[in-house]
Structure 1
């Protein structure tokens, strides 16, 4: 059957970056796992949050990580020069504990999740 990883998290992007984000997601379309991406139905205020949540085969984790890295590198579109930022929590079925993908300054850094981490269980 294979081993799975649970991945859930968010990216804060500018409304003007939505089309570029949708393009990145579409270029990496996976028949099953792309369904984990979600934008708010009716965004409000000044931030747009892009969410991912799903259980995927551990062999597909690099597929998702590549998308997050490309989304992190979307060029800032406002005078504040803000890059996308966010956080994803990854827990593997094999019991390796939880890790986090921290997204900021056009990069994705993987770090161990602090323990005990309430999302890891």
Structure 2
């Protein structure tokens, strides 16, 4: 069983509920490994740990039947729907209203490349 170190997705659960989820190994290349971990504020990890496909954009994958990442693919701090990774949703710094996750004390980019920001107004 694999578990995503970012959001906690588990392969034995997603295999049934969401069969398209893939668990990618952390790169062995030291430079790329640091880039991947820096996105999530993680200092170090083990070789056996994984990051699930929820944290990669569709354009990060090579075309073809099997889903392989391009060698320069970097995971996103948000899932593919623009929401913060699951670990952020478990903290006390958010509130849920009408099924939308709203940040309380910080701005959050919806998609970094779109330059759209959501701000919580009190």
TM norm. shorter chain > 0.5: no
For the pair shown, the structure with the greater C-alpha radius of gyration is: 2
How does the TM-score come out when normalised to structure 1?
0.27
Q: TM-score, with normalisation over the residues of structure 2?
A: 0.27
Bigger RCO of structures 1 and 2 (CA < 8 A, at least 6 apart): 1
Give the structure with the larger helix fraction. Answer: 1
